[in-house]
Amino acid sequence: EAQVTQNPRYLITVTGKKLTVTCSQNMNHEYMSWYRQDPGLGLRQIYYSMNVEVTDKGDVPEGYKVSRKEKRNFPLILESPSPNQTSLYFCASSLTGASEAFFGQGTRLTVV
């Protein structure tokens, strides 16, 4: 079954404690991206990757890092989380940046 898997689904952490949200896809897609979804602001792209070892900033990259060492994995790293990063995060993959996006189930992050 084609899918994008994110972990964890829910995470509560404290300010400043580094965390990683994992994302894996089994569709051999070259393009992967991370979004955050906030009430009234919609889906905003954080980072994207067009291929292995190729990543670039989206619309709201501050406070986040990503890596793309393998085609299937695209982890999102928060080196020093802050409360304003409390949000619902989605990983997505697609053939190209403009083609159908397949989303993971989301990670609800709370930073206290």
Partner 1 sequence: TQLLEQSPQFLSIQEGENLTVYCNSSSVFSSLQWYRQEPGEGPVLLVTVVTGGEVKKLKRLTFQFGDARKDSSLHITAAQPGDTGLYLCAGERSGGSNYKLTFGKGTLLTVNP
Q: Which stretch binds partner 1 (CB under 8 A): 11-19, 60-68, 69-77, 99-107?
A: 99-107
Within 10 Å of residue 84's Cβ, how many Cβ atoms? 10
DSSP E strands, 52-97: 54-57, 65-66, 76-78, 87-94
- According to CB under 8 A, which residues from 32 to 61 bind partner 1? 35, 40-43, 45, 48, 50, 58
The pair phi, psi for residue 54, each rounded to 5°, is -120, 105
- According to CB under 8 A, which residues from 3 to 22 bind partner 1? 4
Q: Which is nearer to partner 1, 32 or 111 (CB)?
A: 32
Measured between alpha carbons, how far is 63 from 46 in angstroms, rounded to an integer?
10
- Report the residue from 20, 51, 96, 110 that binds partner 1 according to the rule CB under 8 A: 96
Token reading at 92: 């997505």
- According to CB under 8 A, which residues from 57 to 76 bind partner 1? 58
The verdict on 26 binding partner 1 (CB under 8 A) reads: no
Q: Which is nearer to partner 1, 40 or 62 (CB)?
A: 40
Q: Interface residues with partner 1 (CB under 8 A)?
A: 4, 31, 35, 40-43, 45, 48, 50, 58, 90, 92, 96-98, 100-101, 103-106
